[in-house]
């Protein structure tokens, strides 16, 4: 573990001790920001943004490229910090650091293409000979609240577009994993960010509410629906962008490449020990391939190596803390008591949960009735696509879905009829490209992330008619 993993953040009288999910070793201490400190941070951000809003697109791109380069120079330190504070495997952590660089560079590129348009006002009888110029202007100060599971890249998904659009950012990372985020703020200063343009406040739910109530101009939040609603209510008329999770399905049809579908199900469910918003929460198998697919799945699950996330040989580490592990355990036990069959795993040792596969899972079983952050593959079966689609659409979430089939008619049906924000064909629901819109409907959120669309989400439309 690097020295960065033991970084100590200067503490105020109220402080949070950050511990490793694997073994519980103390990693650092963060000071909890008071309401007054939040207000001062927002005031400094507004002062900085007053000048930065006049910056040119190439200057914003250069700034974001410089930060991406600082991340590259400190990639291993950041990866080991993420591995330590999240329990993410070192391979997963290194991949997140790589993706964070891409997010910032793509944001810089997008800054140079924040195009407006010109409309003629004389398009109808009685119109006038005037032109309307429509441009995009920065909103001002963005409040960014991020979760523990991708502490670096999800912050970059808020920071990159905000800076590219000409805004300032005050961020609040999860108190469960704040150290990589704090290091990013340091690297931003090294990269030449103007003083006050990117600041960070630390704390839990009260700090999040305090930031939402502060005089910000836009709130960008990634987390759960209950917290999202509380923040939306606290922020009043401030525009909100919210990614609130999902209960995402993966459908496997009879003509699917079963080996690829098996590998995808495992990769998209056991990554970060199942703690991804778009992970495969429900696996829908067509009855024609249920037995064969399940046999191949169990063989692959048996090969997943769990343990110390710092080891390059480990495939899956722990969940974020003991409380999270207990939630998963309770839902597993209740689901089994309701008639589900345990095909693999099911055990727990502290924060380590065995890769688990359940069959004969009822649609209202606790493990899939709500979004479950844990390494549990819950199998549902179906014969008619319409029935499986209707079951998914009846739920409160609508983030993403994956389907494995080469049948064009079925692809058309699933992509047309599923009530979700994105459908991945011959891919899992957890697939994401940094520049592509990402988000959901219903309880899964408001607005979209993905650097190109987020740039406009974080801008205001201005019309000048001359």
The dihedral region occupied by 445, where left means phi > 0, alpha psi between -120 and 50, and beta the remainder, is left
Tokens (6 digits) for 204 = 């839990």
Tokens (6 digits) for 452 = 């190109």
CA distance 380 to 361: 6
User: Burial of 318 by CB count in 10 Å (0-12 exposed, 13-18 middle, 19+ buried)?
Assistant: buried
Q: Which of 77, 85, 243, 371 is catalytic?
A: 243
User: Burial of 264 by CB count in 10 Å (0-12 exposed, 13-18 middle, 19+ buried)?
Assistant: buried
Q: Which residues on adjacent β-strands are paired with residue 168? A: 141
Q: What is the DSSP string of 314-349?
A: -SB---S-HHHHHHHHHHHHHHHHTT-EEEE---EE
DSSP strand pairing (249-252 vs 239-243):
unpaired
CA distance 306 to 67: 34
Q: Which residues on adjacent β-strands are paired with residue 337? A: none
Q: Are 212 and 190 in contact (CB under 8 A)?
A: no
Residue 277 designated active-site: yes
Q: Report the 10 Å Cβ neighbour count for 437.
A: 17
CA 250, 255, 261: angle at the middle one, nearest 5? 40
* DSSP structure class, residue 6: G
**Which residues contact residue 110 at a Cβ distance below 8 angstroms, ignoring those fewer than 6 apart?**
161, 164, 435, 451, 452, 455
CA distance 121 to 127: 6
CA distances from 73 to 70, 151, 188, 191 (A): 5, 18, 13, 11
Q: Which residues on adjacent β-strands are paired with residue 141? A: 168
* DSSP structure class, residue 15: E
Nearest to 151 by CA among 179, 189, 170, 188: 179
Q: Are 252 and 286 in contact (CB under 8 A)?
A: yes
Residue 243 designated active-site: yes
Q: Which of 83, 156, 240, 277 is catalytic?
A: 277
| Torsion of Cα atoms, 168 then 449 then 79 then 60, to 10° | -40
- Residues known to be catalytic: 243, 277
């Amino acid at each position: 573990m690097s020295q960065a993993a033991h970084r100590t953040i200067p503490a105020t009288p109220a402080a949070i001790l950050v511990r490793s999910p694997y073994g519980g070793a103390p990693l650092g201490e963060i000071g909890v920001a008071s309401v007054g400190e939040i207000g001062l941070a927002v005031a400094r951000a507004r002062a900085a943004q007053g000048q930065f809003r006049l910056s040119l697109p190439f200057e914003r791109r250069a700034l974001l490229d410089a930060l991406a380069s600082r991340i590259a120079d400190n990639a291993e330190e950041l990866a080991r910090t993420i591995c330590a504070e999240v329990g993410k495997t070192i391979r997963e952590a290194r991949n997140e650091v790589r993706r964070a660089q891409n997010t910032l560079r793509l944001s810089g590129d997008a800054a140079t293409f924040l195009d407006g348009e010109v409309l003629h006002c004389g398009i109808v009888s009685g119109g006038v000979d005037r032109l309307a110029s429509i441009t995009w202007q920065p909103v001002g100060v963005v409040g960014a609240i991020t979760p523990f599971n991708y502490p670096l890249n999800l912050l970059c998904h808020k920071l990159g577009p905000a800076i590219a659009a000409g805004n300032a950012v005050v961020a609040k990372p999860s108190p469960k994993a704040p150290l990589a985020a704090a290091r990013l703020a340091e690297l931003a200063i090294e990269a030449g960010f103007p003083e006050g343009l990117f600041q960070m406040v630390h704390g839990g739910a009260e700090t999040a509410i305090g930031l939402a109530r502060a005089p910000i101009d836009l709130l960008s939040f990634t987390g759960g629906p209950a917290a999202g609603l509380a923040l939306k209510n606290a922020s009043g008329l401030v525009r909100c962008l919210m990614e609130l999770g999902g209960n995402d399905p993966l459908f496997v049809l009879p003509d699917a490449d079963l080996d690829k579908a098996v590998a995808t199900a495992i990769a998209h469910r056991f990554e970060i020990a199942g703690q991804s918003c778009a992970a495969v929460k429900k696996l829908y198998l067509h009855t024609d391939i249920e037995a064969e697919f399940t046999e191949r799945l169990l063989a692959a699950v048996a090969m997943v190596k769990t343990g110390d996330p710092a080891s390059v040989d480990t495939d899956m580490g722990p969940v974020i803390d003991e409380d999270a592990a207990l939630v998963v355990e309770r839902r597993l036990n209740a689901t089994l008591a309701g008639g589900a069959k345990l095909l693999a795993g099911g055990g727990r040792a502290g924060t380590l949960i065995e890769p688990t596969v359940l069959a004969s899972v009822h649609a209202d079983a606790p493990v899939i009735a709500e979004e479950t952050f844990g390494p549990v593959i819950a199998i549902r079966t179906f014969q008619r696509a319409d029935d499986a689609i209707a079951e998914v659409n009846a739920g409160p979430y609508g983030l993403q879905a994956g389907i494995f089939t080469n049948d064009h008619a079925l692809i058309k049906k699933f992509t047309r009829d599923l009530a979700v924000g994105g459908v991945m064909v011959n891919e899992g629901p957890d697939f994401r490209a940094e520049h592509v819109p990402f988000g959901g409907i219903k309880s899964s959120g408001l607005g979209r992330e993905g650097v190109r669309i987020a740039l406009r989400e974080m801008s205001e439309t201005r019309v000048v008619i001359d």
